[in-house]
Copies of this chain bind each other. A is one copy, B any other.
Amino acid sequence: MPAISFARGVPAPECLPVEELADCARAALERDGKTILLYGPGGGYGPLREWVAAQHGVEPSRVVLTNGSLQGFVFLAEHLVAPGARVLVEAPTYDRPLKILSRLGAEIAALPMDDEGLVPEELERALDAGEPPAFLYTIPTFQNPSGRTMSEERRRRVAELARERGLLVLEDDPYGLVRYEGTAPPLLFELEGGEQVAYSSSFSKTIAPGVRVGYVVLPAALAAQIEALAVSTYISPPFLTQATVHEFLRRGNFEPNLERVRGLLRARRDAMLEALERHLPADARVTRPEGGYFVWVDLPSGPDAGELLPAAEAAGVSFVRGTDFFPQGGGGERSLRLAFSFVSPDEIAEGVERLASLLAAPAPSAL
């Protein structure tokens, strides 16, 4: 079997509704080509803004459609973060925002998590400790990289703190709809009312990442500022991709496609958890996400993930080191992010065996 990637946090190619999107792109251009092919609002293609706005119960002007949701994060960070500004993040968290914040000169304060997500007492302590932060970045559901989901009780407390302290929160939620079992807790955005909580998501995991259609729902004043920044960066976003997504929604394809994707990925999640249960050392800790793309593995008796990675790659299996998801030196040395989204269930079983075989030899600290 060729190399197996637990590193790629992307959907398996069979998840992509290629034929349907081809027809949607054609139909969207035929129906609305003269709008799609000229410049227009920096906040995105009108009908899709309206669809997203209706989903979240806001005015369309509060929705900014971006080139993937990361572009929305960049706009928000560029707007809010002056060099030296403090930004609160979860530890671990998605690595790309960490790099963007570093590039902008932010002082990153990493808040500890446990299996119920961000610990509100730690957030409170951070708010008491210094200058008011520019914002808090959180992925409360099926977090990248840990797969953890913040409990409802904690969500209520975080929403309360946002209100009481005037803390701006960016709730990033790309994975929330990719749920295989259980009941979704309420969004921070819903609990707080959308005055202090901004909400970002995308169609990358529910339709296709390559369409690069993300969005952020913002308080009204901030939305106008972010839209102005979008205009000043690219005049208007590519309406063709946004209109293609809108056509897909309009035809009622979204829910059936999502159900299909959930089935394909649930099988992969199950294969991953089963294989890890069977093959990992007894002291390994593994998260058990009800959705999303990722499992997080702690190996208390080692080896160091940075040493394990080249050995794993030589054995034909890859993952991302835990340290990539913490600010420099902040932890993750004995942790691994395993993505189960891209490879097949059989490859997952084989990949975990390859990985586990490298852990079978007793690590120094276990002697």
Inter-subunit contact B33/A232 (CB<8 Å): no
Q: A220 within 8 Å of B by Cβ?
A: no
Inter-subunit contact B237/A240 (CB<8 Å): no
Closest to A241 in B: B238
> Bound complex: CA of A99 vs CA of B228, how far in Å?
11
Number of interface residues of A (CB under 8 A): 48
Shortest beta-carbon distance from A318 to chain B in Å: 16
> Bound complex: CA of A212 vs CA of B27, how far in Å?
19
One complex includes copies of this chain to the number of: 2
Q: A30 within 8 Å of B by Cβ?
A: yes
Q: Is chain A's binding surface mostly helix, strand, loop or mixed?
A: helix
Contacts of A13 in B (CB 8 A): 34, 38
Q: Which of A60-87 contact B (CB under 8 A)?
A: 66-68, 70-71, 74
Closest to A83 in B: B83
Q: Which of A214-254 contact B (CB under 8 A)?
A: 232-241, 244
> Bound complex: CA of A29 vs CA of B235, how far in Å?
26
A/B interface sample: 18 pairs, CB < 8 A: A10-B38, A16-B33, A19-B30, A19-B33, A21-B29, A21-B33, A25-B26, A36-B210, A37-B208, A37-B210, A38-B208, A67-B234, A96-B232, A100-B233, A103-B232, A212-B237, A238-B241, A240-B240
Q: A37-B210, A67-B67 are in contact. List 4 more A-B contacts (CB 8 A).
A: A18-B33, A26-B26, A103-B232, A210-B239
